[in-house]
Structure 1
């Protein structure tokens, strides 16, 4: 752990397991409530100077951090792959994305503007100023164990907040590597703090401690709701990126080859373990069979294995993830779904692998139509008219990301307006960039990350009225 500028060890350890080999790769020190209190107190102490520092100074430290991340990018990528399994090429792209966020917010730290409001009285001057909210607690997931950290911490630091981070228990090594970069960048003591340990001890301290003024979380909707309830007692500001159930709509006028390429990219990257992974494919009836055949042919050719080797699909994070994917497939088959490829755990290796799977004949009664799979399983639904598609894909609970492929520009605009999702990619399977807001609606989250919207999550507006006579 890293608290007040120092590395902290304890006698209590936690094993870190490689999901591709099931081998122990390390053990790390873990803490609990006391270490978390220490981290919060350190962050609060550091806030008095960090929060009032000029934006140019904070920018300097962030730029130094970006340099350190870039200098260590290969080691960071290898740590990601060893810890959570994604192919090394994907891990390298994640590290580059993480650096993008730090560099972008290094610039934005210098551009936090207030506002002058025209007064309604001759002897008054009205202003709005932006101030950092205080100590922020960040809780990050295992599926993007580096970029999720910088996507939260970089805007917090740019705004003038100090941070206590709790990473996912599956991927502590990635967090440690990122904090080594913060340390090498010589951030002032207490500005960033890392606590590792059980959620049942660390979580209540983060949500209940009045010195923490902001909670930012990425993870499941169920956990997000609990954090919101717990944070309510001290009325903390909360932003959350929660579960997704992304639809991928393919109209008959779409370029099918590009659509298949997009589905492969959004469904099977990280073995389907991202919040914006395609979870449901909706193909117009006239092209559904052709799309399914093309997709199955290419999905069957994807190479499954250890992410450190030349593979396309790595392991799932644990045994429960494999069991969930398999239960969704079995449920679909029991309801007349047809498996075109895959359909079972990948038995050629010892790790937590599942075959890339394509299923046709999907319908709304299946589990896969209503639950987030978080695995490499692609079900294909069909529709007949554009007028019915919005009602089919808009979900009562989820609203994070959606994709739509069509050559009709007018239809693209109609879909953009009708899809009830926080992120929409029209003919674009990779819409996420550092300068744009990322976040969902409904039970997929609240608040944004990325862009100027992400910066505002760590700022408070203060209105000032000055009477001059």
Structure 2
């Protein structure tokens, strides 16, 4: 029977679950009701020092653990995640707000990453390079880079930590993970699966705290050899500077403002129906979400009518309620931001076709909103909304569409809909984005790289590429 009880919250350091005693705490709130779920312990400087030392010590053991054993533990953890998926999904919906069906899917996909990288652990190889001198053997080995500091946000509290943890652990690295404080229980549930699967003590630490203090102490430590961050562009810049001070590599997956090019020859109804579902999935709090819908002028009116109708049909409510398709925003800050963006767009001359305001009552609910005729001076044409607002604009030809799609410094995801093979090739080549969907919005797969370009970050997670960012090359020349 499904339970809606919220799990106790801890820090997880050196294999021990540390409660709030003697530590400052922060409230974790159910965004659907505004009610407090629990109190989250915040790490002290001493806690972080202990986590760093535990990571250093455990790395000396884990790096020498044979790949087959690392793979066994990751596979076992994936199995436990699947067994516990209903409980973990419920925790996620309670603290983050997304519909339970989306939470279930996320937990299962997180398990897939651990299973995928369990196999990648067995494929870490090197090469023998023929020498230009007799009697010399030349080897290139790929070895774990060292302890990792990983930072993840609140919007995908299972799959984002999973991408980082699975690859880093498969490579032989130890990890200190700081998840988002709004949704801590999900990450702790993943850690419990790894712990129960036999991960050696100290290989993984989970800490929460004041973000600036935690990142400053962890990244400055000589123990940390690699940094990985998913979150906003401004914070990504800050962490890049801190990593650069120690000449440490950093992987960044930052914001997006995903353009969608819909050409006149496309399946307009499918592009609109699926586009509304994609835009408002996760209440729009999705970094790869489609946000700017650019429709070729001849199909504009039809697309707008269909998209608005699909948006109005969406069921809004508590993520635990049956049938909910759009949940609450994560926190009051997001609500205030949506109101400000809509007000600015309307003041600049935009038309609200549906939605546009917060929903009265408990929780942080905002109506799925569609804006048309948005002038280029509006903030939303330049800032990632990260909420349930879609922008619709016409374009005339391929060159115009690509120019608008590529105008912003964001380059994480982009989409295009066309039945013409030549157009599909041209937009695939011409769009500036790390991930591109042609005639579909589902572009994420465990076996493929996830990452952006320009100010949306650098590096990749997932796929065969993902593990490489946790490895270093060592050249050995032996006479």
**C-alpha deviation, 1:191, in angstroms:** 0.7
SS at match of 1:457: helix
Give the match for residue 312 of structure 1: 325
**C-alpha deviation, 1:73, in angstroms:** 0.4
Does the Cα contact within 8 Å between 1:32 and 1:201 map onto a contact in 2? no
**C-alpha deviation, 1:383, in angstroms:** 0.3
Alpha-carbon distance in 2 for matches of 1:464, 1:330: 62
Deviation string 1:305-331 (CA, Å, 9 cap, x unpaired) is: 111012110001111111111222122
Matching of residue 351 in structure 1 with residue 363 in structure 2: yes
1:329-348 aligned within 5 A: 329-347=342-360
Give the match for residue 13 of structure 2: 3
Identify the match of residue 445 of structure 1 among 453, 457, 474: 457
Matching of residue 232 in structure 1 with residue 220 in structure 2: no
Does the Cα contact within 8 Å between 1:363 and 1:381 map onto a contact in 2? no
Give the match for residue 71 of structure 2: 59
Does the Cα contact within 8 Å between 2:77 and 2:197 map onto a contact in 1? yes
| 5+ long unaligned stretches in structure 1 | none
Matching of residue 302 in structure 1 with residue 320 in structure 2: no
Does the Cα contact within 8 Å between 1:266 and 1:276 map onto a contact in 2? no
**C-alpha deviation, 1:440, in angstroms:** 0.5
1:266-277 aligned within 5 A: 266-277=278-289
Does the Cα contact within 8 Å between 2:147 and 2:174 map onto a contact in 1? yes
Alpha-carbon distance in 1 for matches of 2:419, 2:130: 47
- Structure 1 segments, 4+ long, off by >3 Å, are none
**C-alpha deviation, 1:261, in angstroms:** 2.7
Give the match for residue 323 of structure 1: 336
Give the match for residue 213 of structure 2: 201
Alpha-carbon distance in 2 for matches of 1:265, 1:357: 13
The TM-score, its normalising length taken from structure 2, stands at: 0.95
Identify the match of residue 430 of structure 1 among 442, 464, 471: 442
Alpha-carbon distance in 1 for matches of 2:460, 2:342: 33
**C-alpha deviation, 1:239, in angstroms:** 0.4
SS at match of 2:226: strand
Deviation string 1:413-435 (CA, Å, 9 cap, x unpaired) is: 11111111000011120110111
1:30-109 aligned within 5 A: 30-109=42-121
Alpha-carbon distance in 2 for matches of 1:271, 1:285: 28
SS at match of 2:386: coil
Give the match for residue 162 of structure 2: 150
Alpha-carbon distance in 1 for matches of 2:338, 2:263: 27
Alpha-carbon distance in 1 for matches of 2:259, 2:44: 39
Identify the match of residue 177 of structure 1 among 181, 189, 198: 189
Matching of residue 455 in structure 1 with residue 428 in structure 2: no
Deviation string 1:118-148 (CA, Å, 9 cap, x unpaired) is: 3223333222110000100111100000111
Identify the match of residue 411 of structure 1 among 413, 423, 427: 423
Alpha-carbon distance in 2 for matches of 1:232, 1:194: 24
Count of aligned positions: 466
Does the Cα contact within 8 Å between 2:273 and 2:306 map onto a contact in 1? no
Give the match for residue 413 of structure 2: 401
Q: Aligned-pair RMSD on alpha carbons?
A: 1.1
Alpha-carbon distance in 1 for matches of 2:91, 2:395: 43
Alpha-carbon distance in 2 for matches of 1:14, 1:328: 28
After superposing the two structures, state which structure 1 stretch, 354-363 or 378-387, moved more.
354-363
Deviation string 1:251-302 (CA, Å, 9 cap, x unpaired) is: 0111012101331232100100010111211000011111111111110111
Matching of residue 388 in structure 1 with residue 377 in structure 2: no
Does the Cα contact within 8 Å between 2:14 and 2:204 map onto a contact in 1? yes
Alpha-carbon distance in 1 for matches of 2:398, 2:246: 47
Does the Cα contact within 8 Å between 2:161 and 2:187 map onto a contact in 1? yes
Does the Cα contact within 8 Å between 2:349 and 2:375 map onto a contact in 1? no
Give the match for residue 177 of structure 2: 165
Alpha-carbon distance in 1 for matches of 2:266, 2:328: 32
Alpha-carbon distance in 2 for matches of 1:345, 1:288: 28
Does the Cα contact within 8 Å between 1:265 and 1:429 map onto a contact in 2? no
Alpha-carbon distance in 2 for matches of 1:165, 1:50: 17
The TM-score, its normalising length taken from structure 1, stands at: 0.97
Deviation string 1:45-96 (CA, Å, 9 cap, x unpaired) is: 0111110111101001101111111111001111111101001111111111
